[in-house]
């Protein structure tokens, strides 16, 4: 039972490079989320998708774009990476705002 | 700016002592969840509270949802070293599946 799968697990980018974090869930959940977590801190919501075909900004959307490709997949794109985007990124899914299930995290370093 | 404030941010106590962690907001939530996170892993759900004034117990952990559904507390009785970790509260908004997290409480229990 895979749950939420996100890739890559580790990535180093140079400032200005672009990349896409991929996320897929196999629990048939309507809602999907992208969070970032800085060292020792809580999670901050970047974007979320309440259902297939919709996306909304969270608390810290600047510098990111998302795509809800279908019900299973929700990708996060950094168009021009900045050192301030160095963080751990978590994808998650839930059934309409109930318990969140998280992926294992993606460690991103921007140099 | 964190919309969901947790306190204290750090707590280091002796084994056997009791402690309380608070989660406060000016927003009303449809539910409030508590998670625990170990280093290098995603958060794992401990409990969800839904009704204002609700109290839930999980062994030595007691969770309470405020009457107005804006705040919550986590009380641990007779803390043990195995309780060490990052505790996160998360509030779910009723309308759009949006879920935000608190700033986190890093708990350390000394043997």
Closest by alpha carbon to B93, among A3, A102, A15, A56? A56
**A32/A51 Cα distance (integer angstroms):** 8
**Sequence-distant (≥ 6) Cβ neighbours of residue B88 within 8 angstroms:** A42, A43, B6, B34, B35, B36, B37, B43, B101, B102, B104, B105
A43-96 per-position pLDDT tens digit: 999 999 999 999 999 999 999 999 998 999 999 999 999 999 999 999 999 986
DSSP state of B78: S
* Residue recorded with tokens 């990111």: A64
B66 touching A (Cβ < 8 Å):
no
Substitution target from B97, B100, B102, B104 for chain A, most A beta carbons within 10 A: B97
Instruction: State the smallest CA–CA distance between residue B42 and chain A in angstroms.
Output: 6
Structure tokens given for A76? 């996060």
- Structure confidence by residue, pLDDT tens digits, A4-54: 999 999 999 999 999 999 999 999 999 999 999 998 788 999 999 999 999
Q: In this predicted structure, what is the pLDDT of residue B60?
A: 97
* pLDDT at residue B103 is higher than 80: yes
How would residue B40 be classed by pLDDT, with cut points 50, 70 and 90?
confident
Cα distance from A81 to chain B (closest Cα, Å)? 22
CB spacing of A40 vs B6 below 8 angstroms: no
Instruction: Name beta bridge partners: B28.
Output: none
């Amino acid at each position: 039972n895979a749950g939420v799968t996100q890739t890559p697990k580790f990535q180093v980018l140079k400032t200005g490079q672009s990349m896409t974090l991929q996320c897929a869930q196999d629990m048939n959940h309507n809602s999907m989320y992208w969070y970032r977590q800085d060292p020792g801190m809580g999670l901050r919501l970047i974007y979320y998708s309440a259902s297939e075909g919709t996306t909304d900004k969270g608390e810290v959307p600047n510098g990111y774009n998302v795509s809800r490709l279908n019900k299973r997949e929700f990708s996060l794109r950094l168009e021009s990476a900045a050192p301030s985007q160095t963080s751990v990124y978590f994808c998650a899914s839930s059934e309409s705002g109930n318990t969140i299930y998280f992926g294992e995290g993606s460690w991103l370093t921007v140099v | 700016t964190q919309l969901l404030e947790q306190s204290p941010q750090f707590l280091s106590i002796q084994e056997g002592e009791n402690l309380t962690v608070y989660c406060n907001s000016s927003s009303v939530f449809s539910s409030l969840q508590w998670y625990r996170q170990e280093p290098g892993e995603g958060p794992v759900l401990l409990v969800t509270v839904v009704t204002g004034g609700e109290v839930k117990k999980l062994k030595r952990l007691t969770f309470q949802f405020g009457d107005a559904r804006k705040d919550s507390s986590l009380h641990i009785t007779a803390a043990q070293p195995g309780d060490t970790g990052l505790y996160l509260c998360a509030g779910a908004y009723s309308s759009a599946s949006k879920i935000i997290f608190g700033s986190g409480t890093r708990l350390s229990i000394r043997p």
